[in-house]
């Protein structure tokens, strides 16, 4: 425990990090525990890269790490209770291990700030969403000064993607194209924690994709709070479609995915880019949130169900095999049975391959938390159960249509919880569906690619129990077998400058920017 608690909140536009500060290389182990969304997962890869560059080593599974970092979420229900409960369990471990440090970052740290150290005074470092690059220096300073360091920047100074990253997967990687969000959805606290949207330059994005492919990565997912508003900073509303096409020109990149688009910004050129670029997967995750126009207005979702379903129709006309998934909130304040029936109707019409369904709960700091007509828990639960039952029926029906089809599976780790007892392996088809398959006499490695025929459909996965038709060994499989994870240097020198960006490289079907 610290001899004193010195809390330092950094005001907007100023950093306490002196340029001549240097880290002392020590062999200390680290562990990162990630809560929340894909953005948090990708930020954790950056944190791992930073710590390893500073001389830390990843802790073994059964080892008590010298440094435990929590990358937190403020969106999920009871996020703060989960964090403080976990910190409480760590307190006696820290007391018994001299020199152990605990750091808390991410969205909850940005929101709660010095409250974290007040409630858990054994925490050494608190850092925000805008300054993950400060973590190694803050840890060193906390050790040297023997007091907690709290540094929260109010605005982004450096793109996270300009930082090194130790990737979790040898075959699949996240590539952030933007950070922050310009939308004002009443249920969401993300804009206030991650700030306004900042777009990376297309050249920086493509350079990072190329660096991953050079390491053997076969699949990338372009990541942003609202990917299809990409280009807003440099004035090109068609930038995202161009970026998809440009990714298609990178040799060795076999699969491109993206998450998440917003229906209000969805343009026909993105559908064309998906359909015409072979490496772009025919998979679309597009949040609906509600099938009631009245609720969409209350949520400040600037589209209506007619537009949403129109996008779905256009996607399916261009790509009949597309798997479309969504997010839905049940029980938003003021939702009536009629509103909920509207959601069920849209689910029936859209025929989602799967859906992430959420029961609305208050999030302090959001406008929706102050709305009247908050629904009783029992009402929300009953509607939620009906929605889940309908979507499960829909998912199973669509999966049954896959039986007998040949699917290409990128072999993965951790996707099949029962693989050991079923003697199967698992991975994702190009449309994102989970496939459990029988590997044959010689098992492929994670990162290899097999083609196999679907023999059975369950509500949430497919099974392919015959001998694989083909098995292709890959560089990703070689590196996965050798235990080598990609490590990428930072790409880009900070925030984008204003004005027109450098043009995207010329590729077939891609208009000059």
- 387 shares its domain with 276: yes
- 357 shares its domain with 377: yes
Amino acid 155: pLDDT: 67
Amino acid 77: pLDDT: 59
- 246 shares its domain with 190: yes
- 188 shares its domain with 333: yes
- 215 shares its domain with 351: yes
Alpha carbon distance 414, 55 (integer Å): 28
Q: Annotate 312-329 with DSSP letters as a single string.
A: HHHHHHH-TT-EEEEEEE
Amino acid 74: pLDDT: 74
Which range marks the domain in which residue 460 is found? 405-485
- 37 shares its domain with 129: yes
Question: Residue positions in the annotated binding site?
Answer: 37, 73, 107, 181, 185, 188
Question: Residue positions in the annotated binding site for [4Fe-4S] cluster?
Answer: 37, 73, 107, 181, 185, 188
Residue 503 is assigned to a structural domain of this protein: no
Residue 92 is assigned to a structural domain of this protein: yes
Do 241 and 269 form a contact (C-beta atoms < 8 A)?
A: yes
pLDDT per 10-residue tile (average), the chain, 513 residues: 38 39 63 83 87 90 92 73 88 92 90 88 90 89 90 71 82 90 86 80 93 96 92 91 97 96 94 98 97 97 96 98 97 98 98 95 86 94 98 97 98 90 95 95 95 97 96 96 87 40 38 32
Amino acid 13: pLDDT: 35
Tell me the pLDDT tens digit for each residue of 397-431: 999 999 999 999 999 998 988 888 899 999 999 99
Q: What is the CATH number of the domain that holds 365?
A: 3.80.30.20
- 227 shares its domain with 364: yes
Q: Annotate 243-279 with DSSP letters as a single string.
A: HHHHHHTSTT--EEEEE---GGG--HHHHHHHHH-TT
Amino acid 159: pLDDT: 66
Which distant-in-sequence residues (6+ apart) come within 8 Å of 12 by Cβ?
153, 154, 155
Q: What is the CATH number of the domain that holds 413?
A: 2.40.50
CA atoms within 13 A on the CB side of 407: 34
- 83 shares its domain with 231: no
- 144 shares its domain with 197: no
**In which region does residue 261 sit, left (phi positive, over 0), alpha (psi from -120 to 50) or beta (all else)?**
beta
- 386 shares its domain with 439: no
Residue 498 is assigned to a structural domain of this protein: no
DSSP assignment letter at 93: H
- 295 shares its domain with 439: no
Residue 500 is assigned to a structural domain of this protein: no
Residue 23 is assigned to a structural domain of this protein: no
Q: What is the CATH number of the domain that holds 99?
A: 3.40.50.12160
Give alpha helix (H) positions in 304-368.
305-318, 337-350
Residue 147 is assigned to a structural domain of this protein: yes
Residue 288 is assigned to a structural domain of this protein: yes
Please give the backbone phi and psi of residue 300, each rounded to the nearest 5 degrees, phi first: 60, 40
Amino acid 17: pLDDT: 43
Alpha carbon distance 473, 403 (integer Å): 26
Q: Where are the beta strands (DSSP E) in 78-236?
A: 101-106, 125-127, 149-151, 165-166, 172-176, 178-179, 198-199, 219-223
The number of distinct structural domains making up the chain is 3
Residue 18 is assigned to a structural domain of this protein: no
Of 151, 185, 206, which residue sits at a domain end?
Answer: 151
- 342 shares its domain with 376: yes
The residue assigned the tokens 């300009």 is 162
Of 117, 151, 185, which residue sits at a domain end?
Answer: 151
Amino acid 14: pLDDT: 36
Of 151, 175, 207, which residue sits at a domain end?
Answer: 151
């Amino acid at each position: 425990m610290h001899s004193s608690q010195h809390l330092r909140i950094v005001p907007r536009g100023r950093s306490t990090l002196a340029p001549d500060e240097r880290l002392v290389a020590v062999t200390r182990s680290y562990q990162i525990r990630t809560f929340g969304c894909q953005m948090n997962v990708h930020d954790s890869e950056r944190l791992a890269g930073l710590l390893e560059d500073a001389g830390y080593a990843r802790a073994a599974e059964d080892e008590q790490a010298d440094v435990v970092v929590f990358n937190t979420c403020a969106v999920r229900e009871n996020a703060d209770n989960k964090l403080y409960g976990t910190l409480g369990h760590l307190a006696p471990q820290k007391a018994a291990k001299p020199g152990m440090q605990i750091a808390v970052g991410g969205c909850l740290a940005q929101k709660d700030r010095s409250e974290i150290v007040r409630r858990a005074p054994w925490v050494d470092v608190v850092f925000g969403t805008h300054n993950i690059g400060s973590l190694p220096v803050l840890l060193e300073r906390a050790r040297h000064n023997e007091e907690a360091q709290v540094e929260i920047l109010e605005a982004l100074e450096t793109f996270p993607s300009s930082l090194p990253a130790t990737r979790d997967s040898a075959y699949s990687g996240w590539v952030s194209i933007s950070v922050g969000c310009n939308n004002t959805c009443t249920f969401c606290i993300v804009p206030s924690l991650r700030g306004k949207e900042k777009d990376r330059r297309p050249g920086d994005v493509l350079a990072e994709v190329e660096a991953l492919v050079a390491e053997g990565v076969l699949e990338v997912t372009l990541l942003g709070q609202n990917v299809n508003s990409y280009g807003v900073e440099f004035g090109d509303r068609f930038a995202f479609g161009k970026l998809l096409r440009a990714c298609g020109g990178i040799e060795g990149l076999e699969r491109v995915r993206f998450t998440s688009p917003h229906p209000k910004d969805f343009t026909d050129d993105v559908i064309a880019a998906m359909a015409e670029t072979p490496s772009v997967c025919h998979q679309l995750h597009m949040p609906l949130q509600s099938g009631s126009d009245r609720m969409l207005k209350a949520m400040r979702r600037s589209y209506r169900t007619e537009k949403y379903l129109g996008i779905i129709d256009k996607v399916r006309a261009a790509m009949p095999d597309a798997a479309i998934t969504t997010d839905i909130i049940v029980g938003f304040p003021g939702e009536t049975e009629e509103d909920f029936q509207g959601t069920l109707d849209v689910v029936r019409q859209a025929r989602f391959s799967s859906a992430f369904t959420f029961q609305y709960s208050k999030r302090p700091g959001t406008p929706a938390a102050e709305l009247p007509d908050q629904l009783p828990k029992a009402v929300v639960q009953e509607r939620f159960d009906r929605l889940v039952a309908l979507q499960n029926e829909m998912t199973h029906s669509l999966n049954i249509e896959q039986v007998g089809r040949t699917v290409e599976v990128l072999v993965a780790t951790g996707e099949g919880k029962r693989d050991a007892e079923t003697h199967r392996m698992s991975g994702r088809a190009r449309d994102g569906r989970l496939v459990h398959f029988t590997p044959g006499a010689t098992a492929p490695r994670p990162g290899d690619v097999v083609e196999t025929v679907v023999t059975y459909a369950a509500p949430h996965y497919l099974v392919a129990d015959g001998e694989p038709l083909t098995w292709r060994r890959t560089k990703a499989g070689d590196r996965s077998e050798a235990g080598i994870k990609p490590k990428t240097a930072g790409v880009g020198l900070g925030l984008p400058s204003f004005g027109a960006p450098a043009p995207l490289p010329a590729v077939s079907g891609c208009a000059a920017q």
